[in-house]
Structure 1
Amino acid sequence: MRRFLTLVSLLLVAFPAGMTITGCYRNPAGNYCNGLGFGPKVTDLYSITLQPQNTGVSMAFGQTRQITPGTGATCKGGTASVTNPTYGSTNLQLVDISPTGNLCAGTWNRNTGGGIPDFTICNYPNPLPSSSGLPYGTAYISESSQSVTSNPVQVFVHAPVTSISLVGPTQCVSQTQVAQLDAEACYAGANNAQYEFCAPPSVTKFACKNGLAPGVSAVPSCNGSIGTLTYNAQNGSVATINPETNQITAVAPGTTVINASISQSGSSAGYFSTCPPQSIQISLNGKTAGTVTQGVTQNLSTTVLDTNNHVITGLTLDYQSTNPQDLTVSSSGAVTASFPGSASVYAICQPSECNPAPINLFGANGTGLSIASNPVDLTVPGTASAYVWYGAPGKSQYFVPVQLLSGTVGSTVRLPYVPNSMVMDQTGTTLYFGSEHELMVYSTASNSLTSQSTGTPGVVLAVSPNNSTILVNDQVRQLFYLISGTGTTAPSSFGGLGTAAQFTPDGKTLYVTDSATAGPGHTNTLYVFNANTGWTTYPLTTSGGTIGPENLAITVPGVGAYVSGNPTVAHTWCPTGTVGDYNSMTFYPQGDSVNADTDVLAATTDGQHILGAALTAGGISFSDIGVTIPSTACPTAVNSVLQPLLLTHTLNQTTLAVNATSVNQVVTSPATVSTGTAGAAYSLSFVTYNGTTAGATLPYYQQTTGNTTSLGTVGYLTLAGGTSITAPVAGAFSPDNTLFFVSTAGDNKVHYISTTTLQDTQQISPNLPVCNPSTDQGCTAPAGSTGTVPATVITVKPRATT
């Protein structure tokens, strides 16, 4: 023992100062939430969160709802299991809850007998709740497990809601601005009377038909009585809603329906409008006129102000070019020049891509309507050559191509059937020929047949500028076919007959006119197809004249169309009718009436003139209608009634001293440009016609560029060939406006007219063989015809000079 004590003493003396003894250490208190070694452990269930803890639950009498099990947490914030939960309610007569967490807005059946399981029938509360005379009440539910109880969740129990009306901004809200949504609701009382259930304090005129229930002097807010409503914007591109706060944010111009729901039922509660454009201003390098070089892309600058004078960004605009073969504008505003020439470009905001509105809310706060920008006039320097195609639908089963650069007249191309129409798309890639048998489609690159559509026989009336849609009129079945693609996609159809049609430059709207003078089944009717509103029709009952409303011309910009006849009338894109009443809407009402008789019409590219011509006893009556578009935006509604866009005009008329039997065309120059290098001081137009008098001349008309109230200059061009020429029957300008190609009857030639000297500089013979009406179905040539016929259709596309 003495030795042991000596050893211990030596060890104590030898241990260095400041050193401690370490080894295995246990701290049982660290396993507990309070760190003191007692109470809940850090792995135990510490709290239960039951949802929805902020908004509560809304239930109509007798409804059931399975609650979402609560989530458990430890005292350290970790996840903990909630095992064997039990549920409780502060008022089982109002809100009953089954052992599995299934809520009943009333009381569950228990011990019913007859083999009916418990908790399968939810009975109405007994007695029914009443708060200040209104049928609602509240209770709280909770979930418990392992001696831990969740937060309480408020349950709103009420009579069924029969309708919900939005209470929010009635005026439009500018982009990015925020507004608060609220609502008022109705319930059914005795005899199905509709009484006000709840509403914001700001509401003084109740939406419910019978107002306040007997004995009720005021109603609470909906959040405090029936619970929090859920809102949804039907069109998320117009507005978005924060589900936590029910605040709505304006995103882009337009109107959207707002749906509201509560207690498992919903309805359309109202609408919300983001302010529409008031003006669109575009420019190139800060100017509204300029020069664009071939192959160099330049971007337009666009500034859009809404009706509150706030700047709008991110709009989807359509850009229109008056000469898309030479100059195009992309959807982003990038200008590309392919060939020399000139064009005016516009930006258009139109539904449904821009400023949309549901069909029954057209015009709400100015939404659902279209608006155009100012023009930007662009010139592409240089001179281009051209490809030209000649045909004579109804008279020849052939067409012939010509390369202007080489001067070579190509070989005639025989079609499968005699065509009744010939149209080239504005991109210059495809030729479409209609016939009684089928639609025939040819490539301009190879002059070869690319497709035949036997399911769409008829007359090709129009092709959209981007070659995406073809309009064929089956005059036997009396159907319009709208064909997507290049004649290969199954068409949509609409009943009717037409004599002429044009697309707006953006391809979004198609105007079709028909005249009763065209034959059996034809009527004086204007048809309009729009991508947003579909097909609509408008009677042209006042249209008279020699041949009635057989022709039309689109305004520049494309806010409407003038239709020939007497009077000559315009229909424009601003609808009329009561906002919110679809049945009262006229989508393309009359916007102008001109006391002029016209058989054919054309618009000058400066947008200032509609030129018309009609056959009269003393020659051809020529009308220069000076057009003023007072605003590129639709007029403001008056007492919720939409107003049409009314165009104003001046009228100057003269008589063309020619011997004609009918008028074929007024052909306006593609751009107010001279030799493809500079803007000209005037626009040039020619009039073509049928006749039988030898030595026929070609009338032309020069009009000062811009808005003028005076008559321009009329002249007559003598064509090479002299007395052999009986009429200039068809014509077309080269895209760079250096030449006018005119086909003449008598000599059956095509004459090249210089637009600068107004001289006949060259003649070619297309040599289109005449068809035989006895053997060629669809041939309208006189019986016994032989030899060749003059071209009655001329189509042109530009090409490089190298």
Structure 2
Amino acid sequence: MRRFVTLAVLLLFSIPFGISVSGCSKGTPVVYCNGGSSGPIVGQPFAITLQPRIFGISLNFSQIGQVSAPSATDCKGTAATISAYTYGIFDANGRADMTIADVAPTTGKLCAGTWNRNSGAGIADFTTCNPTNKTGEVFVVATGGGVSSNPLPIFVHPVVTGVVLGNPTPTENCSTDPDPSSNCCPLAAQATVTAPPYLAGSCLSQGTTGQLVARVYQNATTNPADNITCQVGHLSYTAQTTGVVSIDENGVATAQAPGSTIVNASLANAASSAGFFSTCPPASIRLTIPNSTGTGGQTSVVVNQNNTQPITTVVTDTNGTILTGLSLEFVSTAPTTIPAASGGTVTPLFPGAASITAICQPPSCNSSSFNQIGLFGNGKPITSNPISVTTPGTNSTLLYIASTKSRYMVPVDFTTNVIGQPLKLPFVPNSMVISNDGSSIYMGSGNEIMVLNALTNSVSREDATVKGLVLAVSPDGTTLVVTDPTLGQTYLYASSGGVTSTYGGVATHASFSPDSQTVYITTGTVTTPANPLTLTPAVITPSNQLLVHAAFTGWTLVSATTPASDVSVTVPSVGAYFAGATTTARSYCTSTTISADNLSVLNNEFYPLADSAVVQTDRVAATADGKHILGATVAGGATLADFGVTLPVQSCPTTVPPNFFTRTSTTTVPLGVSATAITNIVPTPDSSVAIITYTGSGVLPAYKPATGVLTPVTLTGSATAPVSGVASADDTTFFVGTSGDNAVHLIDTGTLTDNAKQTILPNLPSFIPAPNGPTGSGTDNPATNVTPDMLVQRPRRPTA
């Protein structure tokens, strides 16, 4: 039929063969295409093309469209110039028919109906499209310069109200299916496609192809009676996230990177969301040391300082296909000493120990739209097995000592064993954290946020627009978690200055994932306001409301069954453990409910319960080897709980069971101290030993997770209790701030002894608030020293 149309057009519009224009313009020679003495002439129009040649233009009843600009070429295929075109419209038999669609003869402006002509009353012709509500296919032909174009199909149909991407009608059923898909339409047969159909409710592995098919409906229904698929012409598909899938003009989709994306279908000069496409997600990320032996390859290695160690990464999807080109995040539990590079290499900067993992983290890897998280496994993170890296040697340390009762901070450089000049702060700090790169120290107060340059030991910035406690700094150093108990607000605060997000409520503790994408926060209720005259902090009673902020999903409020008093991200970072009357864990996997037809997500529970132990803990900490969660409490006598854990690092299940994190053992050990509050649990980077700090009186409890043995370390001198502590990056020393003597003790992690000869006296002068002055005003009292209850450190090379 198309051949007939072309023939009819040629008969109507072509110039008879042999007629040509030969000139004598000053002797310019005429060049014929065939090199002879007659026929088409080079440089003169020979062909006109209207696009899209096969797929044409789709129009709803009474819709106005426009023919694309014709392109003219000569007989050699070189562009030729035609000053003006004339457009005509014909039916399949080559007869003029302006009842289905009409075209303005000089502009190519289309009408799905009939244009107004000679309307009078000042109404210009070809401005009003009068519907005829006739469905059908007609053809537009453009002529100019004695040449006619290809016939351009125009499909006129009822108003499209919906396009649904779905499963194809089997070819043998096309003639009988009351609800046919686009592969059944005559137009589909004109495209040469060998790809199998893409089946809704499934995913394609990276690099494989599938033919998209859809159904088109009128009247805002999906009833078979309203199926107008074969009346609308060709469907063009585009992916909202092009990195997930590429789609050609024939609707053949090629899976690219793991993830799911909305697919839009374009027709009738409009786009409609048609459905989703899924590239299969990773099911496993396996890290090994190159050229290692043994089943599955070696997963631990000793690397000397400044040497680069590559890591082999093999990622397979849910079909077992090996994936390439993924945007994986490589993270380290000790990024200061042993950072992981984005390409999967490790170059230790200092001696120490670290676990390296790779994460496929949405939205940069395995992304999906928010309402389709969990469908086919897309939109969920996947974490690798850990690689243990040990770098032998020892570091020096720069230790920073401060107190919540003093306006001074004291640096100590163990390279020179010199106690630095005390730095006077603008206000008394109530909290202190240090960035992973050791360059900045962030301190909260009741008046402002204070930023210290740790390289110059000076205050580099003050921000009075935000006040409160600084709870945590992200591993990449870009974001702080700050809470203001007075205003009842929790902030995400940019390290460069300024609040980036706010959540109503008071936070108590926060813990970031190593990739800085997620932070888990415990909350509470202020039962006693802070007293600035006595420097007494607010009393905050823990609540059962947990906060999580993720770069992919934003803020999520999670209701726990019992109040949570502390939080620690697991290693690998597949979730977090929370302290409380019942110690619980939350998984980073969403628990997804999918429709019966496997085509949509009905509900997602974010951060579902993954473990629960009826064991009281006040503070919790994860060891870097990923094998232990340590908790401590003062309830019923001070005790330590050691939960042996095996964490899942493969793809997330559709539904997360409450025992998703496997607890292999639970050990409870008395601390043997008189404690009123647990202030911290501090494991060494190599997970060999952990200390517990507290307020009260007694020894320093040191626990070895590998053996389950707790050693009481006797503190020398007049120390009464270890209230704060930090471990050196090389695992050799604990620095412990103590009450009683207001000193910092150095504990050897190998012998678990207190070296009395190295005890540091920072002599932090107490601060006396002014009763009638502005908040934060007062005087310093050098005659009275206070307890160093805040310590941070950064490694330094042994020589200056």
| TM-score normalised by L of structure 1 | 0.84
Distance 1:612 1:51 in 2: 70
In 1, Cα distance between equivalents of 2:89 and 2:648: 68
Residue 678 of structure 1 is matched in structure 2 by none
Q: Which of 699, 703, 706 is the aligned partner of 2:705?
A: 703
Contact 1:239/1:248, CA 8 A, preserved across alignment:
yes
Please state how far the C-alpha of 1:137 moved relative to its aligned partner: 0.7
Say if 1:412 and 1:111 are closer, same or farther in 2 by CA, change over 3 A: same
User: Whole-Å Cα distance in 2 between the matches of residues 110 and 686 of structure 1?
Assistant: 91
Aligned to 1:15: none
Question: Is the aligned partner of 1:444 residue 2:454?
Answer: yes
Q: What is the one-letter code of the residue matched to 1:607?
A: G
> In the TM superposition, what are the counterparts of 1:302-381 in structure 2 within 5 Å?
302-381=313-392
Which of 559, 568, 592 does residue 611 from structure 2 map onto? 592
Residues of 2 paired with 1:280 and 1:503: CA distance? 22
Q: Could you tell me which of 537, 543, 548 is aligned with 1:528? A: 548
1-structure distance, mates of 2:211, 2:419: 71
Tell me: CA distance 1:728–1:154, structure 2 relative to 1, closer, same or farther (3 Å): same
Task: Compute the displacement of 1:84 (Å).
Answer: 4.0
Alpha-carbon shift at residue 75 of structure 1 (Å): 3.1
Residue 786 and residue 47 in structure 1: after superposition, are their counterparts in 2 closer, same or farther (change >3 A)? same
Q: 1:169 aligns with which of 199, 203, 226?
A: 199
Instruction: Give 5+ residue unaligned stretches, structure 1.
Output: 1-25, 130-135, 195-207, 214-218, 544-548, 673-682, 705-710
SS at match of 2:225: coil
Q: 1:612 and 1:103, CA in 2 relative to 1: closer, same or farther beyond 3 A?
A: same
1:5 match: none
1:772 Cα deviation after fit: 1.2
Contact 2:610–2:656, Cα closer than 8 Å, also in 1:
no
Shift of 1:416: 0.4
**1:197 aligned partner:** none
**Equivalent AA in structure 1 for residue 401 of structure 2:** Y
| Matching of residue 750 in structure 1 with residue 716 in structure 2 | no
* Aligned 8 A contact 2:572 2:649 in 1: no
Distance 1:529 1:571 in 2: 13
Please say if residues 563 and 570 of structure 1, whose CA atoms lie closer than 8 Å, have aligned partners that are also in contact: yes
Q: Spell out, residue by residue over 1:559-602, the C-alpha distance to the aligned partner (whole angstroms, 9 max, x if none).
A: 11111111111111011232487783221111111110011111
Report the alpha carbon displacement of residue 331 of structure 1 after superposing the two structures with TM: 1.2
Structure 2 distance, partners of 1:800, 1:146, is: 82
Q: Distance in 1 between matches of 2:444 and 2:29?
A: 94
Residue 562 of structure 2 aligns with an amino acid whose one-letter code is: T
- Structure 1 residues 163 and 28: CA distance shift in structure 2, 3 A: same
The CA deviation at 1:185 is: 0.5
AA matched with 1:138: E
Name the SS of the counterpart of 1:491 in structure 2.
Answer: strand
**CA pair 41-478 structure 1, distance change in 2 beyond 3 A:** same
Contact map agreement 1:574 1:644 (CA 8 A) in 2: no
Post-superposition offset of 1:784:
10
Asked if the contact 1:396–1:779 (Cα under 8 Å) also holds between the matched residues in 2, the reply is: no
* Partner residue in 2 for 1:16: none
Give the Cα separation in 2 of the matches to 1:166 and 1:583: 18
Matches within 5 A, 1:536-551: 536-543=556-563, 549-551=564-566
Question: SS at the partner of 2:371?
Answer: helix
Residue 742 of structure 1: SS of its match in structure 2?
strand
**Are residues 648 and 137 of structure 1, via their aligned partners in 2, closer, same or farther at CA, if it must alter by over 3 Å?**
same
| Alpha-carbon separation, structure 1, partners of 2:725 and 2:735 | 5
**2:612 is equivalent to residue 611 of structure 1:** no
Preserved contact between residue 385 and residue 649 of structure 2 (Cα < 8 Å): no
- Superposition pairs of residues 677-688 of structure 1, within 5 angstroms: 683-688=688-693
Give me the identity figure in percent.
Answer: 40
Aligned equivalent of 1:768: 764
1:211 aligns with 2:224: yes
Q: One-letter code of the match for 2:142?
A: E
What corresponds to 1:20 in structure 2? none
- After superposition, the Cα gap between the structure-2 partners of 1:146 and 1:768, relative to the gap in structure 1 and judged at 3 Å, is closer
Q: Find the residue that maps to 2:347 and give its secondary structure.
A: strand
2:184 matches 1:184: no
CA distance in 2, matches of 1:621, 1:402: 33
Q: Which amino acid aligns with 2:413?
A: Q
Q: Report SS of the residue matched to 2:140.
A: strand
| CA offset digits 1:217-261 (Å, max 9, x no partner) | xx68x4x5211111110011111111x222111111111110111
CA distance in 2, matches of 1:423, 1:517: 23
SS at match of 1:798: strand
1:774 CA drift (Å): 4.1
Contact 1:70 1:82 in 2 (8 A): no
**For residue 123 of structure 1, what is the aligned residue in structure 2?**
130
Aligned partner of residue 675 in structure 2, secondary structure: coil
The equivalent position to 2:417 in structure 1, one of 407, 414, 419, is 407
Gaps of 5+ in 2: 1-25, 91-96, 167-197, 293-297, 530-539
Matched position secondary structure for 2:565: coil
The structural deviation recorded for 1:306 is: 0.7
* Alpha-carbon RMSD: 2.6
The SS at the match of 1:787 is strand
For 2:656 and 2:777, how far apart are their aligned partners in 1? 48
Aligned residue among 560, 571, 590 for 1:575 = 590
Task: For residues 1-31 of structure 1, give each alpha carbon's deviation from its aligned partner in whole angstroms, at most 9, with x where no partner exists.
Answer: xxxxxxxxxxxxxxxxxxxxxxxxx999975
Distance 1:116 1:662, change over 3 A: same
- 2:58 touches 2:233 (CA, 8 Å); kept in 1? yes
1:562 is matched with: 577
User: What is the letter of the counterpart of residue 770 of structure 1?
Assistant: S
In structure 2, what is the Cα distance between the partners aligned to 1:303 and 1:765? 52
TM-score, L = length of structure 2: 0.84
Residue identity matched to 2:480: I
Residue aligning to 2:712? 716
Contact 1:230/1:260 (8 A) holds in 2:
yes
Q: Distance in 1 between matches of 2:42 and 2:798?
A: 86
Q: Give the partner amino acid of 1:611.
A: L
**Taking structure 1 as reference, are residues 89 and 422 closer, same or farther at Cα in structure 2, changes over 3 Å only?**
same
Instruction: Judge conservation of contact 1:576–1:644 (CA < 8 Å) in 2.
Output: no
Q: Work out whether residues 575 and 643 of structure 1, in 8 Å CA contact, stay in contact via their aligned partners in 2.
A: no
Distance 1:742 1:254 in 2: 47
Contact 1:340–1:381 (CA<8 Å) still a contact in 2? Answer: yes
Cα separation, partners in 2 of 1:65 and 1:397, compared to 1, 3 Å: same
- The one of 296, 299, 310 aligned to 1:299: 310
Q: Deviations over 1:418-462 (max 9, x none)?
A: 111111122211111111111000011111010011111111011
Supply the distance in 2 between the matched residues of 1:524 and 1:301 (Cα, whole angstroms).
Answer: 42
Identify if the C-alpha distance between structure 1 residues 352 and 29 changes in structure 2 by more than 3 Å, giving closer, same or farther: closer
The letter for the 2-side match of 1:88 is: G
Mapped to 2, the partners of 1:633 and 1:292 lie a distance apart of: 30
Amino acid at match of 1:333: G
CA distance in 2, matches of 1:261, 1:423: 53
Residue 642 to residue 240, structure 1, CA distance change in 2 (3 Å): farther
Match of 2:797 among 779, 796, 800: 800
Alignment of 1:58-73 (within 5 A): 58-73=58-73
State which drifts further: 416-425 or 474-483: 474-483
The Cα shift of 1:669 comes to: 1.3
Aligned counterparts of 2:274 and 2:549: Cα–Cα separation in 1: 31
> 1:512 — aligned with what?
521
For the residue of structure 1 that corresponds to 2:376, the secondary structure is helix
Q: 1:646 aligns with which of 653, 660, 679?
A: 660
Residue of structure 2 aligned with 1:496, choices 494, 505, 508: 505
Taking structure 1 as reference, are residues 148 and 512 closer, same or farther at Cα in structure 2, changes over 3 Å only?
same
Give the C-alpha shift of residue 54 in structure 1.
1.8
Task: Tell me: CA distance 1:70–1:514, structure 2 relative to 1, closer, same or farther (3 Å).
Answer: closer
- The equivalent residue for 1:626 is 644
How has the CA–CA distance of structure 1 residues 317 and 252 changed in structure 2, closer, same or farther, with 3 Å as cutoff? same
- Partner of residue 272 from structure 1, selected from 269, 277, 294: 277
Instruction: Write the letter of the residue equivalent to 2:787.
Output: P
- Provide closer, same or farther for how the CA distance between residues 32 and 780 of structure 1 changes in structure 2, counting only shifts above 3 A: closer
2:519–2:548 contact (8 Å) kept in structure 1: yes
**CA apart distance, 1:389:** 0.8
Q: Distance in 1 between matches of 2:727 and 2:774?
A: 32
What amino acid maps onto 1:185 in structure 2? V
Higher mean C-alpha displacement, 42-51 vs 732-741: 42-51
CA contact (8 A) 1:667 1:686 kept: yes
